[in-house]
A and B are shown apart, each in its own frame.
Chain A
Amino acid sequence: MSTIALPRELPPGVHPEPTSFWRKYIFSLDHKVIGKQYLFYALFMLVVGGLLATLVRWQLAWPGKPIGFMGKLMPEGMPGGVMLPEFYNSMFTMHATIMIFFAIMPLLIGAFGNFVVPLQIGARDMAFPTLNMLSFWTAVPAAVVIIWSFFVTGGAAGGGWTSYAPLSAIAPKGQTLWLIALLLLGLSSLLTAVNFITTVINLRAPGLTFFRLPLTVWALFVTAVLLLLALPVLSGAMIMLLFDRVLGTTFFLPAGLVISGQPLTNAGGGQALLWQHLFWFFGHPEVYIMILPAMGITSEILPVFARKPIFGYRAMAYSMLGIAGLGWIVWGHHMFMSGMNPILGTTFMISTMVIAVPSAIKTFNWLGTLWGGSIRFTTPMLNALAFVSMFVIGGLSGIFMASTPVDIFIHDTYFIVGHIHYVLFGGSLFGAFAGLYFWFPKMFGRMMNERWGKIHFFLTFIAYNCVFFPMHFLGMRGMQRRIYDYTEYAHLKGLQPMNQFMTISLFVLGAAQVILVLNFFLSMRRGPKAGPNPWLANTLEWQTSSPPPHENFHDIPTVHRGPYEFSAPERADDYWPQNEAPSGRSVTAHG
């Protein structure tokens, strides 16, 4: 390729790379560095969130059993190592908050989005590099505030990640810090969203039409639009809740509230359900914000390792648009039991059933991509396949709660917890693992170890299913979510062995991640050199060196075809880079 291995002679209009440590690694404007910053940020928070989950599961397996060292570490929440109910509430609240906002979103959007989008569209950087830096450095104080909240009086927020009012309006100080942290993070995500949308619309390389875009870019573009439209609603609601807490407003506080025998003085005129409407108007698109990028990554990886064009490219793009459109009219399915008018429940049930269709289309097209392929079982491919098979479970279990009468029973039970973990771990996180193994060579110029990658994959896949699949059974027995001690209840008798099995599986799942961490850091230094295109892929990021130079491409590439032209019969090579000039007889490529 002409774009690689040239001496460092800068093309016109390109600024030289900064040389100072601070400008190069800390306050960098380079999307690749910012992407890596997000990657480390997200992986760190993933570990924090995982440890919180371990505490939650400990309590569920052995209610009230002390953990000696935790008594010293958290004397207020776990005196003598025994977890208090309010501490337990903080644990699951912060587990979900950190995983959703501080781990999965930064990982999929901040890390992969930032790193991959400009490279895949053949741009030198994001449209607004300074805004990009600001967006990362707004996310950092958010993380500081959320971790700080563990150490204030009353502990971290304990009202669930959904923080339903009025409970969240009367909760201790940790809830205020929760709101501030998420407001900061919301601002950060808004800056990112504006940047992604502008970049994809304006900075695509010549010839790169929308229907020649890699599906990762499609997914992140749609995600950015959802973020831009959904986050202001959440931010608005959170500002209102913050005002209720500190300024004495009553947006969510109806008249006549009596808390622990004391009438609440600043109550009246508010609506408790208003919070839920605002939260879920954001919250349902949010679920798609977390799954769409992983769908994009999967759609990227399956063709590369099946050596076959993606099946139904346009159907893939349109189904993402379908999800993005329908995602706005399904929020009420979180509120079937809330006391919302049941007729409204019926309309939300129908829209919710319909939104299953685009996901089904995507699944069938992934199967179609594998059909007739020449499949290589690399680590990225295994994780992408895990995404497909686990997302099927998460998608199908959603049908149960979409049906309003069935939801009467399973609402607020572990069935829901199982469902969301099949979407967010089985889906988003396996997608993120796939992306990590896939783009690691591009990010760091070296390959990750395949053998350890596979060991990590199989251990994770098996342990993951042992932790989360039994949640459906717990839900079928009516075990409530967010419950400190279920052994109090007659209908939950006999479920402790299953809970213990799940917790022990979680220990295995956690231990397996040590392999990933070691593989990640050791490969960064010792892995074999990757070369520009180790997977023989077509998209533009593989047509420059690994890692790419500061300006990404010496000359901006010109795109001649779609991103997944694998095994075209008229070619000797089974791949066909998007920017390779057509030679001789021109072929009508898909696009």
Chain B
Amino acid sequence: MPERQKGPPRVRSRGRSLRVALFALGASALPSLASALPFWLKLPENVSTYGGQIDGLFYLILWITGIIFVVVEAVLLFFLFRYRHREGKAAHYTHGSNRLEVIWTIVPAVICVVLALMSRRSWAEIKQSIPQGAMNVEILAEQFAWNLRYPGTDGKLNTADDVVTLNQLHIPVGRPVVVSLKAKDVIHSFFLPEFRVKQDAVPGMTTRIWFEATRVGNWEIVCAELCGLGHYRMKGFITVETQENFDKWLADQAAEAAKEADQSS
């Protein structure tokens, strides 16, 4: 297994304690259980810098809703048993309690609003801010393929030295990647399950998203939005490699493209 690499810290200090608490909750609960659980009870491995936040929120909500679920169903079953019809025992005549109504309005409201506020922080970091020093890639989705465009030696997209590939996304590890998503025909959705990345590619729009890989390896690109009869096989491949290997790969691609251009001219 390759060494796990850490990305540059980009976490704003505001809200750090909240996030630490969140991770602590997820982290303390997980390892003890994780080894015993079958694979389908777990989220897939996470290989992006912000994936841990998403997973932390997922497990936090799972704990909260799980506890509410167990309590509500247990109370329901208990009432069904305890207050089953028995001869000679009349039902208790009551129309309700305003105090209880207030309690069970406010408590869920507070839980939900707190969850919303916690989610807002991660959401802002993931979708509303683009980190500095990122590598730019353009992805043009079409029925049923991913067209990828890398800046060439000039470091700029949409110039003559761009490198173009089909269904093969290579990125360097430990460096943020900014993807400009476009679509040629219908709506597609760029989904990297292990990176916790998903964004629709909408024709007529360019949507910019970012992510950063924490380790090298090979995974798949999935189309998550129904795009026609070949939707199920609109699959791509993502390769995360070291910066040197990535640079070498990009240069090879450029050289190959130049050779093909020479042959055809």
Known A349-B116, A373-B83, A377-B84; contact A393-B44, beta-carbon cutoff 8 A: no
Segment 27-50 of A: residues with Cβ below 8 Å from B: none
* Nearest-neighbor residue (CB-CB) of B77 within chain A: A389
Task: Flag if B75 contacts A367 (CB, 8 Å).
Answer: yes
With A89-B226, A409-B58 as known contacts, state yes or no: A308 contacts B91, CB within 8 Å.
yes
> Which residues of chain A have C-beta atoms less than 8 A from B72's C-beta?
363, 367, 392
Contacts of B199 in A (CB 8 A): 337, 339
* CB of B259 closer than 8 Å to a CB of A: no
Any B CB within 8 A of the CB of A400: yes
Q: Are B69 and A404 in contact (CB under 8 A)?
A: no
Quick check: is A527 within 8 A (CB to CB) of the other chain?
Answer: no
Q: By DSSP majority rule, is chain B's interface helix, strand, loop, or mixed? A: mixed
Q: Count of chain A residues with Cβ under 8 Å from any Cβ of B? A: 103
The segment from A140-148, A175-183, A254-262 that touches chain B is: A254-262
A346 and B68 within 8 A (CB): no
* A404 CA to B189 CA, complexed, in Å: 16
Within the complex, the shortest CB–CB distance from B209 to chain A, in Å, comes to: 9
In Å, the complex CA distance between A490 and B222 comes to 10
Is B203's CB under 8 angstroms from A166's CB? yes
Once bound together, how far apart are the Cα atoms of A567 and B85, in whole Å? 13
Residue B207 CB within 8 A of the other chain: yes
Are A256 and B113 within 8 A (Cβ)? no
CB within 8 Å: A-B pair count:
301
Which of B73, B127, B197, B207 is A345 in contact with, Cβ under 8 Å? B127
Q: Which residues of A contact B157 (CB under 8 A)?
A: none
Answer yes or no: A455 CB below 8 A from chain B CBs. Answer: no
Complex contact B197–A408 (CB within 8 A) = yes
Contacts of B193 in A (CB 8 A): 409, 478, 491
Q: How far is the CB of A413 from chain B (nearest CB, A)?
A: 8
Q: Is residue A374 contacting chain B, with contact meaning CB distance below 8 A?
A: yes
The reply to whether B40 and A367 contact each other, CB–CB distance below 8 Å, is: no
B57 touches A353 (CB 8 A): no
Does chain A have a CB within 8 A of B155? no
Q: Is B14 on the interface with A (CB-CB < 8 A)? A: no
Interface residues of A in 477-496 (CB under 8 A from B): 477-478, 480, 482-486, 488-491, 494-495
Residue from the list A307, A477, A486 in contact with B232, Cβ < 8 A: A486
Q: Contact check, A357 vs B109: say whether CB atoms are below 8 A apart.
A: yes
Chain B 205-230 interface 0/1 with A at a Cβ cutoff of 8 Å (1 = within):
10100000000000110111111111
- Is the CB of B86 closer than 8 A to any CB of chain A? yes
User: Chain B residues in contact with chain A, CB under 8 A?
Assistant: 39-44, 53-54, 57-58, 61-62, 64-65, 68-69, 72-73, 75-76, 79-80, 83-86, 89-97, 100-101, 104-105, 108-109, 112-113, 115-116, 119-120, 122-124, 126-128, 142-143, 181, 184-187, 189, 191, 193-194, 196-205, 207, 219-220, 222-233, 235
Jot down 29 A-B pairs with beta carbons below 8 A, ordered by A: A254-B203, A257-B185, A257-B204, A272-B203, A272-B204, A307-B85, A309-B94, A310-B96, A311-B94, A312-B97, A339-B200, A342-B127, A346-B124, A357-B108, A364-B104, A367-B76, A370-B83, A373-B79, A377-B80, A393-B69, A396-B69, A402-B112, A408-B126, A408-B196, A409-B193, A484-B231, A488-B233, A498-B40, A568-B93
Residue numbers of A with Cβ under 8 A of B are: 84-86, 89, 158-160, 164, 166-167, 170, 254-260, 270-273, 306-313, 315, 337-339, 342-343, 345-346, 349-350, 353-354, 356-357, 360-361, 363-365, 367-368, 370-377, 385, 388-389, 392-393, 396-397, 399-400, 402-406, 408-413, 473-474, 476-478, 480, 482-486, 488-491, 494-495, 498, 566-569, 574, 590
